[in-house]
A and B are shown apart, each in its own frame.
Chain A
Amino acid sequence: MRTPVVVIGAGQAGLAMSRHLTARAIDHVVLERGEVANSWRTERWDSLRLLTPNWMSRLPGHHYSGPDPDGFMTKDETVGFIEGFGRSFDAPVRSHVRVERVSARSPGFDVVTDRGTWSCDVVVAATGASSEPKLPPVAAEIPSRVRQLTALRYKNPGQIGQGEVLVVGASASGTQIADELRRNGRSVTIAVGDHVRLPRMYRGRDIYWWLDTVGRLDERYDEIDDLNRARRLPSLQLVGTPEHRSLDLNSLAASGVRTVGKLMRIAGAKAQFSGALANLVANADLKQNRLLNLIDEFVLERGLGAGISEPTRPAPTILGEIPTEIDIARFETIIWATGHRPSFSWLDPSLLDHRGRISHDGGVCATPGLYLLGLPFLRRRKSSLIDGADGDAADLVGHLHAHLDQRCRV
C-alpha cells in the first residue's frame, strides 16, 4: 500500500495533524492500534476528569460547545469529544492496525503493521507521551508479596484490597489516586518526590485561565532557558472536580493520607524514604508563589481589576512528623504514579540516537520526513495537552508540506 503520509496514533495529536493535512488536501492515513482516543478509553481510571477546563478543549474546527465551559469533562466525555473531532472532518483512520516497525528506505519509509506494509514519504509519530510507566530503580526491589500496579492500569478502588496502600508519586495521577483511595476508606501513604503545586482557583479564576492568559502555556521551546528541564517537569498537582477544589499535600493530610519522602530503597524489611521532603515542599511552595506573584504583576500591568478578587496565598504546606522508614510488610499494594514515557520500540534502531532516543528539533527529526507530535514541550509548554495539538500540528504541517513538495520536484 502506498500513501504520501502515514500518521501513527489517533489521539488528539494524530487527529489534529490529520485535520491539517486534510485542509491542505494531502493524502494520508491515520493508523491506530485500537480505536480513536484509545489511550483515553484504555489507560485512564474510571473516575478521571480532565484537569483542564472544558473551554481548553480546543481542536482545529472543533471546540467544546456545551453549557459548562468552566467544568471538567469526564473520561467518557473526553473520548466522545475526540471521536467527534475525528468525525468532524471524516479523518481517514484505520482502526485496529498496529504499527510494528518503521524503517527508512531511500526515499521514504516502510511502515510495517499487523495488517500489511505501507510505503510513504512522511511518517508522523503521534503515539502519545504516556505509553509506558517510568519506574524508579527501587521498583525492582519490592518483595513479590506486595501487589504492584501502575497508574496506567489503575481503574477504581474496587481493584485494590482493603489493606494499606503506598502511592508513589505526588503529581496529578498520584495525588488523585491517593485521594480517591482514601475517600474509599483505604489507609494511604503517599511518597512525594518533585512536584508542582498550584491552587485550582486563583483570584476567582481557574489556574489554567491564568496560565493561558499570561501566556505561560504558549511559551515556545526555542525561547526558554532550560528546555531539558522543562520537558521533564512533572504534571501539575491538580484535579478537575465539579467543586473546583484544590488538591495538595495539605488537603491529602487533612483527609488522613500520610505523607513521606521519595521512596529510595528497600533495606531488609524496611522501605526507606528520602529525608529531603521538607526542601521539596518548600521549593514547591516557593515556585507556586512565584507564579502567583507573576499573575498579580500581570493584573496590575493590564489593569484587569474588574471581576478579579484580591490576591491570597494558599497555606504553606505543613509537614508533621515524617518517618523515613516503614515496614514494607505493612503495604498490601503499591501504586506507581511516577510518570510516563513515550515508546518508540516500533522505530528502527537506526533512526534512534546512541541513547535509544529520537533527537528532534521541535518535532522535526534528523531523518528527513520523520515528525513527532504530542511530547512534553515539543514546541510549546502546552504541547502534550489537548489544547496544544492544533498549534504544533499547524507548525509541523508546513514543514512537512515543504518536504513533500521538494520530494516531488526531485
Chain B
Amino acid sequence: MTTTDISPVDNGVNVEALLGARQHLTDAPEAAQFKWRASCEWINGTHNRSSISGFAGLGEEHTHRQTYTIDSDHPEIFASEDNGPTPPEMVLAALASCLTGGIATVATHRGVKLNSVTATLEAGMDLQGILGIDSDVRNGFDGIKVTYDIDADASKADIEAIVAQSQKRSAVFDVVANPTTIQVEVV
C-alpha cells in the first residue's frame, strides 16, 4: 500500500483540504455536527419532486450553488407515468455516489491515480412485501450487489483495499446497512 502525506496524484480530490478539515473537526467537535435536508412535493399520482438546497454545518447554515431537484415516479408497468426513477433506485444511486466519491478520496490519499471507475448496482425485491401479500417478506431489498470496474495505477489487492476502505467510511453505506431511527410527523 502506498500511503503518502503529500499526494503526488491528481484525481480532482483536494486531499490536503480534507485532512485539514479532519484536524479542524477533531479540535472543534461542535463544528462537525451537520444537518442534511431535503423536501419533497407531490405532483400527481406517484410522481413527486424532491428539492435539495440548504444544509447546516461548521456552526452555520449553507446553501448549495443552486437548488437541485429530482423527480421520482413509478414505471408504466405499475400504471404510472414514469416521470423519474423509483425511490429504491434513488437509494441505489445514492449508495453508488457515496461509495464512488469515497473511492476517489481514498485513492488520492493513497497516491493511486484513477483512470476510470464504474459501479453497477442491483438489488432484489420481492413485491409481495410492499403489496402486503406475505407478511414474512420485507418491504425493502433482500440484498444489494455492487460491482466495481476500476482501472487504476495499482494492484488488484490495493484497489480492493481502497474499495473496502470507502465502504468503511461511507455515510450512505452505513445508512443502508444499519438501522436508523426514523420519526415521521404530520404538522
Contact = CB atoms under 8 A, between A and B. Distances in A.
A214 interface: no
Contact of A289 (B157, B164, B167, B173): B157
B43 interface: no
A279 interface: yes
B19 to A, nearest CB: 12
Nearest to B5: A225
B178 A279 contact: no
B89 interface: no
A218 B15 CA distance: 31
Nearest to A325: B138
Given A225-B3, A290-B1, A275 B160 contact: no
Contacts of A265: 179
B186 interface: no
B24 interface: no
Nearest to B166: A279
A139 interface: no
Contacts of B178: 262, 264, 274-276
A267 B165 CA distance: 29
Interface string A282-294: 1100100110000
B58 interface: no
A275 B178 CA distance: 6
B179 A272 contact: yes
A289 B157 CA distance: 9
Contacts of A225: 3
Interface in A236-274: 261-262, 264-265, 267, 272, 274
Contact of B160 (A272, A274, A282): A282
B71 to A, nearest CB: 28
Contacts of B179: 264-265, 267, 272
B174 interface: yes
Nearest to B26: A228
Nearest to B165: A283
B171 to A, nearest CB: 12
Q: Classify the secondary structure of A's interface with B.
A: mixed
A290 to B, nearest CB: 7
B161 interface: yes
A276 B177 contact: yes
A385 B121 CA distance: 45
A335 B140 CA distance: 30
A276 B164 contact: no
B157 A275 contact: no
A283 B164 contact: yes
Given A264-B178, A274-B177, A274-B178, A282 B157 contact: no
A262 B173 CA distance: 14
B177 A286 contact: no
Given A225-B3, A267-B179, A276 B167 contact: yes
A225 B3 CA distance: 10
A21 B6 CA distance: 45
A276 B174 contact: yes
B135 to A, nearest CB: 13
B157 A283 contact: no
B111 to A, nearest CB: 14
B62 interface: no
Contacts of A274: 177-178
Give the interface centre of B157, B161, B176, B178 by most chain A CB atoms within 10 Å.
B178
7 contacts: A264-B178, A264-B179, A274-B178, A282-B164, A283-B161, A290-B157, A290-B161
List the 9 closest A-B pairs by CB distance, nearest first: A275-B177, A276-B177, A279-B167, A283-B164, A272-B179, A274-B178, A264-B178, A286-B161, A264-B179
Given A286-B157, A286-B164, 12 more contacts: A265-B179, A267-B179, A272-B179, A274-B177, A274-B178, A275-B178, A283-B161, A283-B165, A283-B168, A286-B161, A290-B1, A290-B161
